[in-house]
Structure 1
Amino acid sequence: MQQTSEQLAARLIAHRYLPRSDEVIRRVLFDLDFRVSLENNLKACGLRLLDNPYASHVAVGLHQDAERAVMDDGQQWLSNNIGLPKDTLALTVVLWALIILPKRERQLGREAALESQGELFGTLVKAEPSEELSRGIPENVLLEDFGKLLGGKGRISNFALPQLSRLGLIERRNKIIYEGPLLDLVFDYAEMAPRIIQGALGDLIREQSQSAGAGQATS
């Protein structure tokens, strides 16, 4: 039986995110009427659909109309609605900058190349999200670069990273940190990317990219 937009809204709220490869999610991406119905159902709950064409999942987040009711505790505006302390939230921004920004650069570069091929052969070629373009960060490198700034190596390893893993923001495999289903969706790329690229984190990303390139050239 075909799933209704109400049922899909319930699934998204219950699971928090679903892969773009999901059959019903694929319908959302191509059926405008179904998407509008889903967005209306989510909005009735104070939520909105988080969808980025370069991300491998879709998720739900707070609708702008509901932000004050959730984020304003009467004394201050909360920095997040999932209970992350400030140092762990800062770590999330760092991981987003180190993992998602370089991935997006690779995705855009590949899409440009495919579009050039499409023009050459007279066909339209569109890049799909690809996990192979997302690369991990060694935990020891993260701890060495940011341990002192974000509460200490022990706190990051024993508390912050496990918390981010449980929330679906990262995955930890063999001492390497990879993006989780939500990392590419928790920040607005158009708003965050310029701030990071033009700030101090942008310098660090460029330094790491240059070091990685030099390492590959000499290996």
Structure 2
Amino acid sequence: MNQDHAARLIARLLALRYLPREDKEVRRLLVDAGFRDEVEQRLATNGLRLLAHPFSAYVGVALTRECESAVFEQNDAWQSSNLGLPKDAVALLVILWALIILPKRERQQSGESAQKEEQTEMFETVKLTPLAHEASRGIAENVLLEDYGKLLGGKARLQQFALPQLSRLGFIERKNKVIHEGPLLDLAFDYAEMAPRILQGALSDLLKQRGILRDVTLGELHNEEES
């Protein structure tokens, strides 16, 4: 019996919310242009788009820009999340993305540049090198709570509600009182759109004071967009 592989992959992405790049069907998606076009077209007809950043270990789906208002605009107000996240949890998610993903991307960009001469595959099919796998580093919970607890409703609220909620949703993993990147953290925001806002905004000064952002530059963002 013939199988509709595109429908199968889309169903898995919707049900499971993310899949690793090592997955057999995902690998086909990344190397088979025709298969990818079919998947993206089917997603688009239902107001969805593929999330497959070359430096993320997972792929997922998100709303198209045109359909965001249909989901997020409720009762003349724009909802911060369709996952039931309160605003303080969304703010914490942004901070964790900035603390973990931005420095990780800097390390990945450095690793990618070093192996560029040996890279023969398309940018979308770039393999995660050992350096890239090791690039994501955790944040100690006590440091996060001390630095941002008062800004986000108090240490107790973050520890008892916000962090567990982000963990259940797959954005972070908590191990031995250290917060690590979860499968969905790298896909949570559009990097090319979000990174400049953080690097040029008030959060940038705070992160730089703590030595989190040192050499992350907007030039890297432009290079990534052009690739």
Instruction: Determine if the TM-score, normalized by the shorter chain, exceeds 0.5.
Output: yes
Q: Is 2:103–2:212's contact at 8 Å kept on the other side of the alignment?
A: no
Between the aligned partners of 1:211 and 1:73, the Cα distance in structure 2 is: 36
Q: Does 1:137 align with 2:127?
A: no
CA 1:200–1:166: 2 relative to 1, 3 Å: same
How many Å apart are 1:210 and its aligned residue? Answer: 7.0
Q: Does 1:170 align with 2:165?
A: no
CA 1:110–1:2: 2 relative to 1, 3 Å: farther
Residue-pair matches, total: 206
Q: Is 1:3–1:24's contact at 8 Å kept on the other side of the alignment?
A: no
Which protein shows a greater Rg? 1
Q: Does 1:34 align with 2:29?
A: no
Q: Is 1:87–1:150's contact at 8 Å kept on the other side of the alignment?
A: yes
How many Å apart are 1:67 and its aligned residue? Answer: 1.4
Q: What's 2:202 paired with?
A: 200
Q: Is 1:114–1:125's contact at 8 Å kept on the other side of the alignment?
A: no
Is there any run of 5+ residues in structure 2 with no aligned partner, and where?
215-227
Q: Does 1:187 align with 2:189?
A: yes
Q: Is 2:52–2:60's contact at 8 Å kept on the other side of the alignment?
A: yes
Q: Secondary structure at the match of 1:168?
A: coil
How many Å apart are 1:40 and its aligned residue? Answer: 1.9
| Code of the aligned partner of 1:96 | W
CA deviation digits over 1:187-213, x for unaligned, max 9?
11111111111222222332333799x
How many Å apart are 1:75 and its aligned residue? Answer: 1.9
Q: What's 2:79 paired with?
A: 78
Between the aligned partners of 1:62 and 1:20, the Cα distance in structure 2 is: 20
Q: What's 1:124 paired with?
A: 119
| Code of the aligned partner of 2:151 | L
Normalised by the length of structure 1, the TM-score is: 0.88
Between the aligned partners of 1:175 and 1:2, the Cα distance in structure 2 is: 45
Between the aligned partners of 1:210 and 1:146, the Cα distance in structure 2 is: 14
Between the aligned partners of 1:210 and 1:82, the Cα distance in structure 2 is: 28
CA deviation digits over 1:119-167, x for unaligned, max 9?
xxxx436763332110000000000000000010000000000000010
| Code of the aligned partner of 1:65 | E
Q: What's 1:24 paired with?
A: 25
Q: What's 2:47 paired with?
A: 46
Q: Secondary structure at the match of 1:160?
A: helix
Q: Is 2:103–2:213's contact at 8 Å kept on the other side of the alignment?
A: no
CA 1:111–1:77: 2 relative to 1, 3 Å: same
Q: What's 1:104 paired with?
A: 105
Q: Is 2:136–2:181's contact at 8 Å kept on the other side of the alignment?
A: yes
Between the aligned partners of 1:27 and 1:59, the Cα distance in structure 2 is: 15
Between the aligned partners of 1:106 and 1:85, the Cα distance in structure 2 is: 32
Between the aligned partners of 1:124 and 1:13, the Cα distance in structure 2 is: 32
CA deviation digits over 1:26-85, x for unaligned, max 9?
111111110111112222332111111010000111122321211111321112211111
